[in-house]
Structure 1
Amino acid sequence: MTKSILYALGAAALFGASTPLAKWLGLNVSPILLAGLLYLGSGVGLTLTRLIRDRGWQPTGLTAPEWPWFIGAIVFGGVLGPVALMFGLTLTSGTTASLLLNLEAVLTALMAWVVFRENADRRIVAGMVAIVAGGVLLAWPRTSAEVHGWLGPVAVALACFCWAIDNNLTRKVSASDALFIAGTKGLVAGAVNCALGIALSMHLPEWLLLGPTLLVGFLGYGVSLVLFVLALRGLGTARTGAYFSTAPFLGAAIAILFFGETVTWVFWIAAGLMGLGVWIHLTESHSHEHRHEPQTHDHKHVHDEHHQHEHDFEWDGVQPHRHVHQHSPIVHSHPHFPDIHHRHSH
């Protein structure tokens, strides 16, 4: 599971870095158009990467029952979430919006635990609280800000709710091609936000800055989302969301290390809280006898105790490999997370 944890923290680092990098580029464009360009860089970059990797268009790996989950994730995460956030940003201050964005991790975890019945013990809840508390402290406004009423904050909270749904639905398809999942989301979200920006007569950045902006989107939104999907496979939604909540701290750390921003006592307290939360999660151990129900899906695998199956094609013996395979029922006990093979009730 160490690899999955590194995926989640890597996703947080890349996403967190996108804000100071965008600021460093000196982009003077509206939040709507900026989000559209970053998402577009993500979608175009990942789609091209997938075409180069596969030497042309290849099947997505999604099974028929997975398509409704994926379409739902695109609608909530790629369309409704960005639109709600951009609307909210026009009616509330940046500091208030930053504070409210911490709701995404909380709502993601609550939905995973309550709706999708993902396991959560006291250590996971405690670690989640510590990480979110650090994010809240980091985003808390230092000066009195103008109050813009309730509509803006509600719209930002609605965006977080949409992304919480997106995260939980994406978990349902996380065994499929991560490049396709992340690339498609980026293309849809980029098209929606850019169309909104153009409809509202917003101006594009200077041509010299357009390429670097798309590159920041490819890394901070695209590669980050690919790593997030890979983390979902091994950790489940709530734990991945908790690790990803370190993004504000990692973004602030990058701004301090590379762009010379000042360090405040708030930063160090937030770092301590988030570090505590990550440590609590890292030291979690969850083990009990559980039953694997029959399951058919497609992902890269080796023939471990969860993948004892025959092949209906001539296999060259190379592992890991990828193909549609079926899991037979099995009952056993070992330490595990709510990954793609351990989504059972307790």
Structure 2
Amino acid sequence: MKFNRFTDAGIHTGVAYALFAAVLFGASTPFAKSLVGRIEPVVLAGILYLGSGLGLAVVYAVRAIAGRHRQRDVAGLTVGDLPWLAGAIAAGGVAGPVLLMLGLTKTAAASASLLLNMEGVLTSMLAWFVFRENFDRRIFIGMVLIVVGGALLSLDGSGALGVSWGALAIIGASLCWAIDNNLTRKVSASDAVQIAGLKGLIAGTVNLSIGLAFGMSLPAPLTTLGAGLIGFCGYGLSLVMFVLALRHLGTARTGAYFSAAPFVGASISMVFLAERPGPLFWFAVALMGTGIWLHLTESHEHEHTHDLMEHTHEHSHDEHHQHEHDVEWDGREPHVHPHMHVPLTHSHKHYPDIHHRHDH
């Protein structure tokens, strides 16, 4: 049996979410770079995430007041989700942004933007070898090209064979976010606004508290407001889109599409910050671009079996959701309730989303 209509739509939706997340986050890097030097790195990281959390809290409240989402229409976080979310916040919300801000003090914004491609690579490595997502030769070659491009960008700017501390800090931030991405995938079926909002509020409060405890001061009100707006768009809304993409594409593929983010940041850096990178930069761009293209043109289709599974998330009654309702249903779609997937074997194009975690 072969199904394509709904599954292809889900993949296309996931790709759109991932690319939108990439554009928002990529644009935030050069703007954050413009604030480095005026705000201490730890304080800046705190303001960025707090702006994200506060902005999404407003979105959450407006959504609830407007009645567009009744409680039963949102798959909220459960007690079982909290350890995964706590780990994601510690790695990606606290450690990651601090390392990035420190790295930006020593690295040009364009190079820093492309170095962040390492997040996609490290995300995929963890997804493949720790969380057991499938991959093939095409995907592996693409990741190798991205790694080589990142290595070229991390060479010390003086021409020595060493690696700059700024580049190491940015790669460290990428590793933190890679851990964050894989842990967030575990809770991606839940409300994306709630997940991203909590991460922003908690991570922002922790980072800002650390900075103030060490005697660092807040910047001028207008500068603080500007940094908060950057955080809301580049960290908050971007993370909401990223979580939605995880549902459809799985961790490694979402990370690959998200690798478009650094190119957005590099382009903005060259236009607005008047940065002029050298030939090595453009060679790295070519390698990374080829690697991303290999990911974007992947097609994964084969016969597979869905095992018996029960979970809760927003869904419509497509091929994967043919179930009865325990309570009276008004026919509205999409909707949210606990439901069971019966064993099913079929073939269609798919990525390792929340329904396709099978062996190969």
Which of residues 44, 49, 70 in structure 1 aligns to 2:54? 44
Query: CA distance change for structure 1 residues 196 and 117 in 2, over 3 Å: closer, same or farther?
Result: same
2:305 maps to 291
Which of residues 204, 209, 218 in structure 2 aligns to 1:190? 204
Structure 1 residues 133-164: Cα deviation after superposition (integer angstroms, max 9, x where no partner)? 444445554435897998x8877655544332
1:315 maps to 329
Structure 1 residues 246-303: Cα deviation after superposition (integer angstroms, max 9, x where no partner)? 3222101123345554475455444433332232222212122212122222222211
Q: Secondary structure at the match of 1:94?
A: coil
Matched, 1:242 2:253: no
Which of residues 8, 12, 20 in structure 1 aligns to 2:22? 12
Query: CA distance change for structure 1 residues 154 and 142 in 2, over 3 Å: closer, same or farther?
Result: closer
Number of corresponding residues: 343
Matches of 1:279 and 1:89, distance apart in 2: 27
2:246 maps to 232
CA contact (8 A) 1:249 1:270 kept: no
Q: Secondary structure at the match of 1:309?
A: coil
Matches of 2:292 and 2:259, distance apart in 1: 10
**TM-score, normalising length: structure 2:** 0.83
Segments of 5+ residues of structure 1 without an aligned counterpart are: none
Partner letter of residue 49 of structure 1?
A: V
Matches of 1:137 and 1:148, distance apart in 2: 10
CA contact (8 A) 1:107 1:164 kept: yes
Superposed displacement of residue 103, structure 1:
4.2
Structure 1 residues 104-151: Cα deviation after superposition (integer angstroms, max 9, x where no partner)? 33322111111111001011112223334444445554435897998x
Q: Secondary structure at the match of 2:337?
A: strand
CA contact (8 A) 1:17 1:251 kept: yes
Query: CA distance change for structure 1 residues 283 and 232 in 2, over 3 Å: closer, same or farther?
Result: same
Partner letter of residue 190 of structure 1?
A: G
CA contact (8 A) 2:75 2:312 kept: no
Query: CA distance change for structure 1 residues 149 and 237 in 2, over 3 Å: closer, same or farther?
Result: closer
Matches of 1:176 and 1:259, distance apart in 2: 39
Shifted more, 267-276 versus 94-103: the winner is 94-103
Matches of 1:195 and 1:82, distance apart in 2: 14
Matched, 1:126 2:141: yes
Q: Secondary structure at the match of 2:305?
A: strand
| CA RMSD after TM alignment | 3.2
1:94 maps to 107
2:83 maps to 68
Matches of 2:226 and 2:12, distance apart in 1: 32
1:117 maps to 132
| Structure 1 residues 266-277: aligned runs within 5 Å | 266=280, 268-277=282-291
Structure 1 residues 205-232: Cα deviation after superposition (integer angstroms, max 9, x where no partner)? 2112221210110001111111111111
Which of residues 186, 191, 216 in structure 1 aligns to 2:230? 216
Matches of 1:326 and 1:217, distance apart in 2: 38
CA contact (8 A) 1:93 1:146 kept: no
1:330 maps to 344
Q: Secondary structure at the match of 2:322?
A: coil
Partner letter of residue 3 of structure 1?
A: T
Partner letter of residue 94 of structure 1?
A: T
Superposed displacement of residue 341, structure 1:
0.6
CA contact (8 A) 2:77 2:190 kept: yes
Shifted more, 19-28 versus 110-119: the winner is 19-28
Structure 1 residues 32-60: Cα deviation after superposition (integer angstroms, max 9, x where no partner)? 11111001101111122112112299576
**TM-score, normalising length: structure 1:** 0.86
Segments of 5+ residues of structure 2 without an aligned counterpart are: 1-10
Partner letter of residue 329 of structure 2?
A: W
Shifted more, 318-327 versus 24-33: the winner is 24-33
Matches of 1:169 and 1:105, distance apart in 2: 14
Structure 1 residues 54-102: Cα deviation after superposition (integer angstroms, max 9, x where no partner)? 229957622443333222222332234445x279759x94369948755
1:166 maps to 180
Partner letter of residue 54 of structure 1?
A: A
Partner letter of residue 107 of structure 2?
A: G
CA contact (8 A) 2:257 2:296 kept: no
Superposed displacement of residue 174, structure 1:
0.7
Which of residues 206, 217, 221 in structure 1 aligns to 2:220? 206
CA contact (8 A) 1:174 1:229 kept: yes
